[in-house]
A and B are shown apart, each in its own frame.
Chain A
Amino acid sequence: MSAAKTSNPAATERRFKVVGTRPVRHDGIDKVTGRARYGADVNLPGMLHGKVLRSPHAHARILGIDTSRAAALPGVKAVVTGADMPPVKSRTEQSGEGTTNPRHLSDNILAKEKVLYTGHAVAAVAATSAHLAEEALGLIEVCYEVLPPVLDVRAAMRDEAPVLHPDLRTHGLEPKSDRPTNVASVVRFERGDLAAAFASADVVVERTFDTAMVHQGYIEPQNAVAKVDADGQATVWVSTQGPFEVRHFCSEILAMPLSRIKVVPAEIGGGFGGKTTIYLEPLAILLARQSGRPVKMVMSRAEVLRATGPTSGSHIRVKLGAKRDGRIVAADATLLYEAGAFPGSPVWAGAMCLLAPYDVETLRIVGHDVVVNRPKTAAYRAPGASNASFAAESVIDEIATKLGIDPIELRRRNGAREGTPTPAGPRHKRIGMLEVLDAAQASPHWAAPLEAPSDPAKRRGRGFAVGFWFNAGLQSSATIGINADGTASLVTGSPDIGGTRTSCAMIAAEELGIPVEHVRPSVADTDSVGHTDVTGGSRVTMATGLAVYEAAQDVKRQLRERAAALWKVPVEEVSFTDGALVASSGEHAPLTLAALGTKLSRTGGPVVGRATVNAQKATGAAIAGTLVDVEVDVETGKVDVLRCTVIQDAGRAIHPAYVEGQMQGGTAQGLGWALNEEYVYDAEGKLLNAGFLDYRMPIALDLPMIDAIIVEVPNPGHPYGVRGVGEVSIVPPPGAVASAVAAATGVRPSALPISPPRLLAALQASGGHARSGGATAAR
């Protein structure tokens, strides 16, 4: 078995019956038989097919759009352009893990005056077949005035750079400037006397790094099916991480009341943050309204890569100063993040996560959010953190090498703990940094010697890195209905991407003392469950699970009242123990849910427990460590992953197999980010690798088994100690791989991906192979 659990003795001593087991997921059979309906599988009578016309230019003014020939094609039932969308005010609002500006969102969904990236949507049609809709796109004439594009953050920050948004001014800049700019915002964390702290350091390392834009890479393209009834009620079926977000954004973008939109979450084929926003939904609604028929829209893979949000490429400079004993005494970093066509890169989170795992007194971290002519970035699993971690962990590893200190030990000497101030200022709550380091050090992987390769062209190396992620709280609702046979139906609004229907059902089953198979979990539409925020931010098992927990308490309170009424005793004398109602007097035999279930109607009516939570205060941040062994072919620059272990603090693992799954999946994405994934543009801003052939994600043959070690340092804010587990594992792999390559070859990568041509060039520039063959493990 690939996982081991390391319990913290300080964990609550509660003995769980369901939590910690590995039941088969409730939606499993549907998903292995092909019965589960994802958004693209939804079919309605009379349905039309919609397609989107996209800009061939990276930066251009739209002078005019003529859709008349398309509209005249037999079989075409509706055509829309930006002119069909209502005007939306520009403002900033919190959403999910970041902020959105509804005007930018509207302009991204359909360009109005300018197109800002190749693939930017310009018009949409609905026709009786997908093939016809495509033909119709070819009949739409768009007149563009092509403008020079800017594709790189540093180029975009220069005075002479083409300006994407003439009315954009830098937020957070003091003193304020009225110059047009591509810098949307600046964030700054600063404390202490930086010059003095660096002067006191025994070793100072300063490096710059570049990371390429990468995509979440979910296998399921975006989809939406919309139906608008004669009375104007819209229903949207969509594979989304956030049905309530879809409703909210559509309401804003289309100036429709929330009550006129119902969003039905279909099963979702991966999201990783990329499906917490909207692209097709408003278009499908507009086309459905215009045609009077349901409209289905599904993106092609090329559209997904060209026109949905990847995450930021970045340019990061990190300077760290440390004492001889390894204590980091000063940090100075600058982060430039690509926002894509509209403001909103995750540079704030990057600035925080750069050094969040550590206790650093004196620092200055400055981050810039910069627009460029690339698609508008969207959240990608711990957005902003992997870039920053790659940079900081690389410098920390270099310092460890310089000082001759073991890389795990150096991190332990600087490790954050409860009360340590984070880079942004607020103090850490209880956090498992030291425990994760201990588990890494005790792991079979760390203990295993790295054997030398037999091939003289190969070198091996071992690398280690850690990462931090906040984990979100946000809002969730849950209801639990008790059936006459004592089983329960559990209703939440959290789309199930990785088994959370079951982890929530397990929490309900645990609290109600019934088998998990007796809980029937469902993910409901926006009319049928209370407001629930995104499946994202690693929050579902924690926050929706918390709502489920609270709803179960509500159920138990009501059941105690019913038993009290039946037994004619005060409710204080009735307890809920081990799944049964128990009278303290001992005069009545305990009643199971099944026994009480048939008596509900005569003791007051149905029992439905409900709860809503804002889980902001219940969050527990997560730490992960990645340990990786690589083999480098120094004649070709190819890096193979030989062995990989991920260690992560889960707080409390509700369903360990699904926790391991999150850990392994995030690790695999991080390895792809490190080794081969990148967006490649030509000088005109056209994406050259808009497919899975040349956007190279790891295949089964590229990876070894990924050992997942779950550490449990309970989150004090949560009744079970649960911490979010979905994201943090993607943070440390790039830094770990870079350090492993440095250990193997003596050459430290300064850019992601560490692709063979880049690494070979770096090896050749360093004057050949610094190591004379063999393996270098971390000390």
Chain B
Amino acid sequence: MAKTHLTLILNGEATELLCEPRQTLLEVLRDDLDLTGTKEGCATGDCGACSVLLDGRVVCSCLVLGVEAEGRSVTTVEGLADGERLHPLQTAFLEHAALQCGICTPGFLVAAKALLERNPDPTEQQVRYELAGNLCRCTGYDKIVRAVLAAAATMRGTAGERGAA
């Protein structure tokens, strides 16, 4: 099977590779690019552990073919931090103990980032609704929801500061 040449913007960087059409974006990320932060939990779009941003929208990368990312921008958990500076969501997850085994955490962080970009001031129920596609078996979601709400407040405060300056 001839491989397809794929060009995309991955975590802000132009990236090229060869992949087979039957490879999902998840497989391309994990197997060909060694970006193993995005996880496989079910391969049927029911758990969200494989969540990435595709042109800024959160999707299950297990249900996207690698070739469908041609010319698009993809953001994974590895692209959330700015060098050594963690994203406020990452900091909030750490401070609120919002992870136990951590396997669902990359998916939640990516989905929560997309959520807060669309809605910077969500209610608890809105957070739960938007993250309904991300399964966690360890935490019961309590501390995850608190961390997302706390990060939202931090980001609104920072934005407020920037606005006021």
Binding site for B on A (CB under 8 A): 2, 22, 24-25, 27-29, 31-38, 40-41, 43, 131, 216-221, 267-272, 298, 300-301, 497-499, 655, 657-658, 660-662, 664-665, 667-669, 691-693, 697-701, 703, 705-706, 708
Contacts and interface: CB of A to CB of B under 8 A. Distances in A.
Given A29-B86, A33-B80, A701-B132, A220 B46 contact: no
Contact of B39 (A2, A220, A692, A693): A220
A698 B78 CA distance: 28
Contact of B81 (A33, A41, A271): A33
Given A32-B93, A270-B138, A668-B140, 7 more contacts: A31-B105, A32-B77, A34-B35, A270-B101, A657-B97, A692-B47, A701-B125
A664 B142 contact: yes
Contact of A32 (B86, B132, B141): B86
Nearest to A703: B141
Contacts of B16: none
Interface in B97-145: 97, 99-106, 109, 124-125, 127-129, 131-145
B49 interface: yes
A707 to B, nearest CB: 9
Interface of B: 22, 30, 34-44, 46-47, 49, 76-78, 80-81, 86, 90, 93-97, 99-106, 109, 124-125, 127-129, 131-146
B95 A24 contact: yes
B143 A664 contact: yes
A498 B138 contact: yes
A271 to B, nearest CB: 8
Given A499-B100, A665-B137, A700-B131, A301 B44 contact: yes
A734 B93 CA distance: 29
13 contacts: A22-B97, A32-B77, A32-B86, A32-B105, A34-B78, A219-B135, A270-B100, A270-B101, A272-B137, A301-B42, A691-B44, A701-B125, A703-B128
B137 A219 contact: yes
A37 B131 CA distance: 24
A300 B62 CA distance: 12
Contacts of B105: 31-32
A131 B23 CA distance: 9
Main secondary structure of the interface of B (DSSP, over half): loop
B155 to A, nearest CB: 16
A35 B102 CA distance: 11
Contact of B109 (A32, A270, A301, A668): A32
B49 A219 contact: yes
Nearest to B23: A131
B140 A34 contact: no
Given A34-B36, A703-B141, A269 B44 contact: no
Contact of B144 (A41, A691, A700): A700
The 10 closest A-B pairs by CB, nearest first: A34-B37, A269-B103, A668-B140, A31-B102, A41-B36, A692-B46, A657-B97, A664-B140, A34-B77, A498-B100
A661 B101 contact: no
Contacts of A272: 137
Contacts of A693: 44, 46
A665 B140 contact: yes
Residue from A43, A268, A270 with most neighbouring chain B CB atoms (10 Å) = A270
A692 B42 contact: yes
A665 B77 contact: no
B25 to A, nearest CB: 15
Nearest to B131: A700
A34 B38 contact: yes
Given A497-B101, A700-B144, A40 B40 contact: yes
Name, among A34, A697, A703, the residue most crowded by chain B CB atoms within 10 Å (CB to CB).
A34
Contacts of B135: 219, 692, 697, 699
Contacts of B133: 699
A693 B47 CA distance: 9
Contacts of B103: 38, 218-220, 269-270
Contacts of B134: 700
Contacts of B141: 668, 698, 700, 703
B63 to A, nearest CB: 13
Q: Chain A CB within 10 Å — which of B37, B96, B133 has the most? A: B37
A295 B31 CA distance: 14
Nearest to A272: B137
Contacts of A37: 36
A686 B44 CA distance: 20
A94 to B, nearest CB: 27
Given A219-B49, A270-B138, A658 B97 contact: yes
Nearest to B27: A130
Given A700-B144, A705-B145, A31 B35 contact: no
A219 B131 contact: no
B42 A700 contact: no
A301 B76 contact: no
A104 B41 CA distance: 28
A36 B99 CA distance: 13
B13 to A, nearest CB: 16
Nearest to A30: B102
Contacts of A267: 101-102
Q: Which of A32, A131, A668 is the most central at the interface, judged by chain B CB atoms within 10 Å of its CB?
A: A32
Which among A29, A33, A497, A667 has the highest number of chain B CB atoms within 10 Å? A33
Given A33-B90, A34-B35, A664-B142, A701 B129 contact: yes
Contacts of A699: 132-133, 135
A416 B140 CA distance: 29
Contact of A661 (B22, B100, B104, B106): B100
